[in-house]
Amino acid sequence: MPEGAIRVLHLGKYFPPDPGGMETYLRDLMVCSSENGVTPAALVHRSSLGLKSTDENLHAGNKILSVTRVGTWFRLLFTPISPAFPLALHRLIKQHQPGILHLHLPNPSAFWALMLPSARRIPWIVHWQSDVLTPKSGWMLRLCYIAYKPFESALLKRARRVIVTSTQYMTSSDTLAPFKDQCCVIPLGIADRFSTAREDGRNTISNEPLRETATNAPLKVLAIGRLAHYKGFDILIKAIAEIPDIELDIVGSGVQLGTLLSLTQYLAVSDRVRFHGAIDDKARDALLLGCDCLCLPSVDRTESFGIALLEAMSAGKACVVSDVPGSGMTAVVEANKTGLVVVAGDSAALAKAFQVLHKDRSRLKALGERGREKFGNTFTIKTSTKQVLALYGDL
């Protein structure tokens, strides 16, 4: 694709250093697409409350990313409310002159594209990260969705293409059912932070600390994600309590922190469960390299994909996930090939999976190696970006 061939304006929720899978993917997509001749810019919200908006030029390697963060006045059901968003969108369309709007949903602020003539003149791609409603959604969200749905449907109807992250999620989504002819599946991807070239031309995992792999060594489990109810971290802690020779590190922050801390105290596992909060990439990578496996025990299809799984697979680590109907987790982790899949919400089943990995370290290593291979073939940001650029070219 020739230099400057396409200008793309992304509308997202937040942007790094704010944590989150959507945020990580958006940054990596912008970096990789800019290396392939696209000129990207992003319009997102500030994660902290305030009226002020900022225009930033962020350095990512040898690329500079243009990111505008609009002031967030307040939040409603964890959704940032930014009244200045439509003005910023109109300004950036005039200033950036994009040939494509790339809308990352769910994000109610993207609905402003329906109202602005300048936005309606530009072709749209919708990146569908997850449905708003799931079978376990509360009554308040269901009530608000009555007002949300008409705008969501109008946005999907106007989109040229809708990117969905897995076939499982696409086929199970009632929202996407009327728009399946517009949908295409493009798995998410991340940058390969752990690979280093060897003299024989192959890649291997770099900077991995020496780890004791004897059967009697504690199994070191890592969990990464927002401390929210759907992540199932309470189920994970209960599983840890059933087996004495397991240590757990949890990375992330959120409203469930107090509840989870109380649970570790009640189950008397505070000495084996460590909460690290929100940490930077370097510290998270160190934990990934030092763990034996990563666990994503989510209990709801709000977990549509699982970027943390890709991070673990890129580091050559086995994954343990729950089998949530309609979630893309099992598209990422293949049972008994790249990890183990257990019944969602079942702490006993999760504990049994950990026992299997704890006793059979050769199987643990083999699962990680196959996960690393699958990551290289399917889930790098270069692979994902190549498919997205093909859509840009079609438009």
Please report how the helices 307-314 and 21-34 are oriented relative to each other, as an axis angle in degrees rounded to 10: 60
pLDDT tens digits for 310-326? 999 999 999 999 999 88
pLDDT on residue 207: 45
Per the CB < 8 A criterion, the answer to whether 240 and 248 are in contact is yes
Tokens encoding 385: 């970006």
Per the CB < 8 A criterion, the answer to whether 288 and 312 are in contact is yes
Q: How far apart are CA 325 and CA 277, in angstroms?
A: 29
* Beta-bridge partners for 4: none
Strands 74-76 and 79-81: antiparallel
Q: How far apart are CA 83 and CA 72, in angstroms?
A: 8
pLDDT on residue 203: 46
Amino acid making up residue 91: R
List Cα–Cα distances, 175 to 21, 136, 140, in angstroms. Answer: 22, 16, 19
pLDDT on residue 324: 92
Q: How far apart are CA 294 and CA 317, in angstroms?
A: 7
Q: Cis ω on the peptide bond leading into residue 106 (within 30° of 0)?
A: yes
pLDDT tens digits for 45-61? 999 999 999 999 988 77
pLDDT on residue 196: 55
pLDDT tens digits for 274-284? 999 999 889 99
pLDDT on residue 198: 35
Domains and their CATH numbers in the chain: 6-190+381-394 (3.40.50.2000), 195-378 (3.40.50.2000)
Residue 249, CB-side half-sphere exposure with 13 Å CA sphere: 21
Which residue do the tokens 């494509």 mark?
100
The torsion angle over the Cα atoms of residues 350, 355, 358 and 360, rounded to 10 degrees, is -110
pLDDT on residue 205: 55
- Identify the segments of the chain with pLDDT beneath 50: 1-4, 197-203, 207-212
pLDDT on residue 212: 47
